[in-house]
């Protein structure tokens, strides 16, 4: 039985660019799938297809038990979408933004006001409820945007890089909100470039690169796939990086990663604490002064680097802009934000959201 979000063989091309190249997804009800990849990997294109904003060239998708291609209007009634940029009206207050969205969902004025109060309290925005949204901080706008996506408590949510650009405190607050949603039974597909975020929130992770799913599993399964432990060394002086690299190359089981600006070197190893003691002895024998040294398990950063050959935040390029391509779902609405036929159930991304991943 397919999960709450299911896709098989999704393909989407923009000219010569194959943004999706046979993507398969299956997200069980009440769980979080982290769709992880660099800019241009295909994450946002996948979200647009699953939320009816784009039609795939081939493949099938089912969301909340509804065929995305055959019944897009019904799909929209069952989902919420929070895009990469907060899509709120800056000249309305927080309260007015939520009430407006509620009434676009065809709620009565009374119910829309009641729901707005509930959400403002839940997202810690009650004190700023009657201030124009243009006076909100970035974190407050993000919370307001997420609240708007939850006006009708959809069973399936899509969040496209929801914490990009937020400070650590606001990011942690959004994580808590997301965890509460999932604890209440919501199914969530979350795209992110932050490996820590996927590690913290996702039950399962799909790594996507160049339009293909290149790995999937739990965080622990993906780390086990990378294998081994890592020795991390921070040398005291930049001129000691070269001799430290030689020591680690001789004792390690893979290439040595070097971060010049922090003077940190990392290498996969086997042998645990015994090997670490040997590293320390050899570094001392070479006269290398160290500020820090340690042994740790692989992180999702290591997983991503081993799978793709680059770190998650350092990819070049972005996905093509669907607005420049005629192959769009004419019934899905557009950047104007107009409601879809049959009543809107997901807010259409702003023009900034449409511009790229």
Q: How far is CA 282 from the centre of its chain?
A: 41
Q: How far is 218 from 182, CA to CA, in rounded Å?
A: 17
Residues 68 and 101 reside in one and the same domain: yes
At residue 170, the pLDDT reads 79
Which pLDDT does position 312 carry in this prediction?
Answer: 53
pLDDT confidence of residue 357: 42
Structural domain containing residue 251 = 228-297
Q: Which of 100, 128, 130, 127 is nearest to 115 (CA)?
A: 100
Listed residue (60, 42, 58) closest to 208, CA to CA: 42
Report pLDDT digits (tens) over 59-112. Answer: 999 999 999 999 999 999 899 988 877 788 999 999 999 999 999 888 999 999
Same domain as 242, residue 219: no
Residue 352: pLDDT over 80: no
pLDDT of residue 345: 41
- For residue 94 the two structure tokens come to 């927080």
Report the alpha-carbon distance of residue 265 to residue 287 in Å, rounded: 16
pLDDT tens-digit series, residues 274-330: 899 999 999 999 999 999 999 887 777 777 777 766 555 544 444 444 444 433 333
What distance lies between CA 298 and its chain's CA centroid? 20
Q: How many CB atoms lie within 10 A of CB 19?
A: 29
Per-residue confidence (pLDDT) for residue 126, from 0 to 100: 95
Give a yes or no: residue 302 inside a domain.
Answer: no
Q: How far apart are CA 145 and CA 162, in angstroms?
A: 10
90 and 121: one domain? yes
Low-confidence winner among 233-237, 271-275, 342-346 (lowest mean pLDDT): 342-346
Let me know whether 200 and 240 are in one domain: no
Question: Which residues does residue 125 pair with via DSSP β-bridges, in sequence order?
Answer: none
Task: Name the nearest CA neighbour of 357 among 11, 10, 60, 36.
Answer: 36
The pLDDT of 41-59, averaged and rounded, is 94
Q: What is the CATH number of the domain that holds 242?
A: 3.30.70.100
Question: Is 63 found in the same domain as 89?
Answer: yes
pLDDT of residue 331: 33
Count structural domains, the chain. 2
Q: Are residues 130 and 28 in the same domain?
A: yes
Number of H helices, E strands in the chain: 12, 14
Answer with the one of 251, 273, 297 that is the final residue of a domain. 297
Lowest mean pLDDT segment, chosen from 24-33, 250-259, 291-300, 301-310: 301-310
Query: Of 117, 164, 176, which is closest to residue 139 (Cα–Cα)?
Result: 164
Q: Is the pLDDT of residue 263 over 50?
A: yes
Q: What is the dihedral of CA 255, 261, 263, 264, to 10 degrees?
A: -50
Same structural domain, 27 and 174: yes
Look at residue 340 and tell me whether its pLDDT is greater than 90. Answer: no
Q: What CA–CA distances, in Å, run from 24 to 121, 195, 294, 346?
A: 38, 21, 38, 23
Residue ranges in the chain assigned as alpha helix (H)? 43-50, 72-76, 94-104, 109-122, 138-149, 168-183, 195-201, 219-226, 241-251, 272-285, 300-308, 351-354
Whether residues 112 and 185 fall in one domain: yes
Q: How many CB atoms lie within 10 A of CB 266?
A: 22
Task: Give the pLDDT of residue 313.
Answer: 52
Does 161 lie in the same domain as 33? yes
Contact 288, 235 (CB under 8 A): yes
pLDDT given for residue 23 in this prediction: 96
Task: Indicate if the alpha-carbon torsion angle 328, 330, 334, 336 is positive or negative.
Answer: positive
Q: How far apart are the first and last CA of the chain?
A: 31
Q: What percent of the chain has pLDDT over 70?
A: 85
CA 192 to chain centre: 2
Residue 243 pLDDT more than 90?
yes
Is 306 contained in some domain? no
**Rounded to whole angstroms, what are the CA distances from 124 to 120, 129, 139, 173, 321?**
6, 10, 11, 9, 34
- For the stretch 102-138, pLDDT in tens is 998 889 999 999 999 999 998 889 999 999 999 998 8
**33 backbone dihedrals φ, ψ, rounded to 5°:** -105, 125
């Amino acid at each position: 039985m397919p999960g709450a979000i299911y896709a098989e063989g999704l393909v989407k091309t923009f000219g010569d660019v194959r943004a999706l190249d046979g993507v398969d997804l299956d997200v069980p009800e009440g769980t979080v799938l982290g769709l992880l990849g660099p800019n241009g990997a295909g994450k946002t294109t996948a979200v647009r297809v699953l939320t009816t904003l784009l039609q795939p060239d081939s493949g099938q998708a089912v969301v909340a038990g509804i065929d995305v291609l055959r019944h897009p209007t019904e799909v929209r009634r069952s989902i919420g979408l929070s895009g990469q940029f907060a899509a709120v009206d800056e000249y309305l207050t927080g309260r007015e933004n939520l009430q407006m969205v509620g009434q676009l969902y065809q709620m009565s004025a009374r119910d829309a006001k009641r729901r707005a109060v509930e959400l403002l309290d839940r997202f810690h925005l009650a004190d700023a409820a009657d201030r124009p949204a243009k006076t909100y901080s970035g974190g407050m706008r993000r919370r307001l945007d997420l609240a708007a996506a939850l006006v009708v408590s959809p069973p399936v949510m899509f969040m496209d890089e929801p914490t990009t650009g937020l400070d650590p405190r606001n990011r942690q607050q959004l994580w808590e909100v997301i965890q509460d949603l999932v604890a209440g039974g919501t199914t969530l597909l979350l795209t992110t470039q932050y490996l820590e975020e996927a590690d913290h929130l996702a039950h399962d992770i799909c790594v996507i690169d160049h339009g293909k799913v290149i790995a999937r599993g739990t965080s622990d399964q993906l780390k086990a796939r990378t294998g081994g432990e890592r020795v991390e060394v921070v040398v005291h002086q930049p001129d000691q990086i070269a001799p430290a690299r030689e020591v680690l190359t001789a004792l390690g089981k893979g290439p040595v990663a070097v971060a010049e600006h922090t003077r940190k070197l990392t290498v996969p190893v086997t042998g645990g604490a015994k090997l670490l003691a040997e590293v320390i002895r050899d570094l001392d024998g070479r006269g290398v002064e160290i500020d820090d040294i340690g042994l740790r398990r692989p992180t999702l950063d290591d997983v991503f680097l081993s799978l793709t050959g680059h770190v998650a935040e350092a990819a070049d390029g972005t996905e093509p802009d669907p607005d420049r391509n005629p192959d769009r779902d004419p019934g899905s609405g557009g950047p104007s934000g107009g409601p879809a036929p049959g009543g809107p159930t997901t807010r259409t991304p702003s023009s900034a959201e449409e511009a790229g991943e």
